[in-house]
Amino acid sequence: MLKLSRLTDYGTVVLAHMARAPAQRHRAGDLALAARLGEATVRKLLKLLVRGGIVVSRRGAGGGYSLARPPERINAVEVIDALEDPVALTECSGEHHSCELERGCALNHNWQQINRAVRDALRAITLAQLARPGATAAPLRFHPSVRR
């Protein structure tokens, strides 16, 4: 089963809150209250999101955290990559694959195609879409080399 970590789940909740007021600067404590999470957890998430280029931070009076880009220009795969290792369904389908069976495995190429299709599907979903309660995402577009 492909399952994202709890931290990634929490991160999307925090980002969705920020996406609903993208021009605003948000304080970690306010985000923690809005998301019903511990402030230490939110600070950890924000640090990862800043490092991943999803969020920017400003110090001082009027400082806080804001989205690095409009929520329509941030996609789900970027968020996941910032909070976890890049999405890879199998050892051989990731960026830095090191499967000991890779040389003689006939499935390697197929798993890489499947992994690309999953990443493309996640790339098609924006933070703006995720932030809208009950909204459905735009139709997913799959990698052209993947057949349905």
Residue ranges and CATH numbers for the domains of the chain are: 6-131 (1.10.10.10)
Burial class (CB in 10 A: 0-12, 13-18, 19+), 116: middle
How large is the average pLDDT for residues 125-134? 88
Q: Residue 111: pLDDT band by 50, 70, 90 thresholds?
A: confident
Contact 48, 28 (CB under 8 A): no
pTM for the structure as a whole: 0.80
DSSP string, 52-119: TTSEEEE-STT-EEEESS-GGG-BHHHHHHHHSSPP-SSGGGSTT---TTGGG-SSHHHHHHHHHHHH
Contact 115, 138 (CB under 8 A): no
From the CA atom positions of the chain, what is the Rg in Å?
17
Could you give the angle at the alpha carbon of 85 between the alpha carbons of 107 and 69, nearest 5°?
A: 120
pLDDT digits (tens, 9 = 90+) for 21-56: 999 999 999 999 999 999 999 999 999 999 999 999
